[in-house]
Amino acid sequence: MMPTWRLLLPGFGLCFWLASPVAAQDLDPRAYVHVPVDATFMLLGFGVSDGAVVTDPTLVVTDVQATVLTPSMGVGRSFNLFGRTAQAFAVLPFSSADVSGKVSGEGAAIERDGLSDMRLRLSWLVRGGPAASVMEVAKAPPRTILGLSLNVAAPVGEYFPDKLINLGTNRWAFRPELAVSQPIGPRWLIDAYAGIWLFTANDESYPGTARKTQSPLGSFQAHLSHNFTRRLWAALDLTYYVGGRTSVEGVPPTDLQSNLRLGSTLALPIGQRHSIKIAASRGAIVRLGADFTTVSVAWQTAWVPRPTTAP
């Protein structure tokens, strides 16, 4: 019979997200799951977004329609931070975008291929997630988890100051976040996150010499997930974001963004150590901003230290 710790490997719920065209629209169930320390994770993902993906309301482009293909690669590591479980992640996406729209009333279309902005994340379980071995995590009863994280979008993506449409943003973005994960019986879990995106200025905005700023953007998530087995689970996802007024060279800012997205996620175990995560989301209520559909699939694997046997 296979040891319990081996059966648990794919079920730890790797906390990566596929790099999406819009950072505020992350839908990431079980992002604060309790995992063993000293574990290493790897992810290969592929996402497709279709619709009004380009979201900058200051652009002089209307009737935008885009299809963005985004393969991603990520790595992560869990570790002990002051006696609590912490995790660090890095995800680097490559995007291929086909965009059409109208510029000053004239139809236009472009293609872009290159790196998108890197995503970095550090999370810390301040309550309910003590630093523990794989066997200690396996034996622990379900409990309420309180977590903190810092998400960063680093401006490594392809950017041309004299172009209207770019894969990178040419600015830094930071999102501190507070999260609560509450089990309901042995099979149900509710996650709720609240964060705020803070943006640095882009001093090389189109046509290359303009200074673009964006006010803070509130980001909220809620997830309801169900365990069918120890390693197979599904979730219903919701995210709402509001704020993010944008201005160029001090011109009066654009209208307030206010958008709601709905989605679902399915995690499937593959063998002893691997799993596949499939996710889909779309805009439900879009006041100003992106109205698009995203479908993604990610393969993930984990290397967890073997439990030691007492002499």
Q: How far is CA 160 from the centre of its chain?
A: 25
209, with CB counted inside 10 A (0-12, 13-18, 19+), is exposed
Q: What's 273's DSSP letter?
A: T
Examine residue 167 and state whether it is found in any structural domain, yes or no. yes
* Buried-exposed string 151-182: b where 16+ CB fall within 10 A, e elsewhere: bbbbeebbbbeeebbbbbbbbebebebebbbe
In whole numbers, what is the pLDDT of the chain averaged over residues? 85
pLDDT at res. 223: 97
Is 120:149 a contact under the CB 8 Å cutoff?
A: no
Cβ atoms of 278 and 265 closer than 8 Å: yes
For range 277-294, the mean pLDDT: 76
pLDDT for res 1: 44
pLDDT for the residue 179: 98
Answer yes or no: are the C-beta atoms of 217 and 190 closer than 8 Å: no
Mean pLDDT check: name the lowest of 63-67, 102-106, 107-111. 102-106
Q: With 70 as the cut, is the pLDDT of residue 19 above it?
A: no
Q: Which of 5-9, 81-85, 159-163, 182-186 has the lowest mean pLDDT?
A: 5-9
> Which segments within the chain are labelled E, that is strand?
40-52, 61-81, 84-103, 106-115, 118-127, 145-154, 173-184, 188-199, 202-205, 210-214, 217-227, 233-243, 246-248, 257-270, 274-286, 291-303
Residues 6+ apart with CB under 8 A from 298: 16, 18, 43, 44, 45, 46, 72, 276, 277, 279
The reply to whether 308 falls in a domain is no
Q: With contact defined as beta carbons under 8 Å apart, do 182 and 144 qualify? A: yes
What domain range includes position 61? 4-303
pTM summary value: 0.88
Residue 276 lies in a domain: yes
Measured distance CA(221)–CA(123) in Å, rounded: 16
Q: How far apart are CA 140 and CA 130, in angstroms?
A: 10
- Number of domains, the chain: 1
Residue 300 near residue 43, CB atoms below 8 Å: yes
Kindly provide the b/e burial profile for residues 16-45, where b requires at least 16 CB atoms within 10 angstroms of the residue's own CB.
bbbbbbbbbbbbbbbbbbbbbbebebbbeb
104 torsion bin: left (phi>0), alpha (psi -120 to 50), beta (else): left
pLDDT score recorded for residue 256: 73
| 140 inside domain | yes
Identify the band that residue 10 occupies on the pLDDT scale cut at 50, 70 and 90: very low
Cβ atoms of 164 and 205 closer than 8 Å:
no
Query: Is 207 buried (19+), middle (13-18) or exposed (0-12) by CB count in 10 A?
Result: exposed
The verdict on residue 310 lying in a domain is: no
Flag whether 162 is in a domain. Answer: yes
The domain spanning residue 46 has which CATH number? 2.40.128.130
What per-residue confidence (pLDDT) applies to 258?
A: 80
Residue 71 lies in a domain: yes
- Phi and psi torsions of 24, nearest 5°: -70, -15
Identify the pLDDT of residue 311.
45
Q: Is residue 311 part of a domain?
A: no
Query: What one-letter code names the amino acid at 268?
Result: L
Amino acid identity, residue 277? K
